[in-house]
Amino acid sequence: MLEKEKKRKRRHKKVRAKIKGTSKVPRLCVFRSSKHIYAQLIDDEKGKIILSAKDTEIKSKKQIKSKKQEKDKIIRTGKVAKAFELGKLIASKALVKKVKKVVFDRRGHKYHGRVKALAEGAREEGLKF
């Protein structure tokens, strides 16, 4: 196993020891592969997935190639832009199910890049962390 993966798994163990999702405040779990990113809302008490979303549900990369935000002038392109849109998508699905607050589980990944973009997109749409 690569050293990077060992470190990520160690960080993930530490994070999961502290985080538990409930039916009122589920856990927003992020899975990141080299090409795609997925998000799930999980109720750990019942062991159920409340809802899920993936970046393939979003329109193609070319259509969301660059987005500008006026307040902090961030330009997102490619996979980071898709992650941001995925955050918005999962937040809108959660608000339909009347979930307003979640616990963020980054699965040991650093809060950077696509993971950060997903969290920012969810916050912008109205989810509270």
pTM of the model: 0.83
Q: Give the pLDDT band of residue 64 (cuts 50, 70, 90).
A: low
What mean pLDDT do residues 85-103 have?
A: 95
- Quick one: CATH architecture of 3-125? 2-Layer Sandwich (3.30)
Q: Give the pLDDT band of residue 71 (cuts 50, 70, 90).
A: low
Q: What is the pLDDT of residues 17-34, one digit of tens each?
A: 888 898 899 999 999 999
Crossing angle of helices 78-96 and 114-125, in 10° steps, is 40
CA 24 to the chain's CA centroid: 18
Rounded CA-CA distance 41/84 in Å is 16
What mean pLDDT do residues 81-92 have?
A: 94
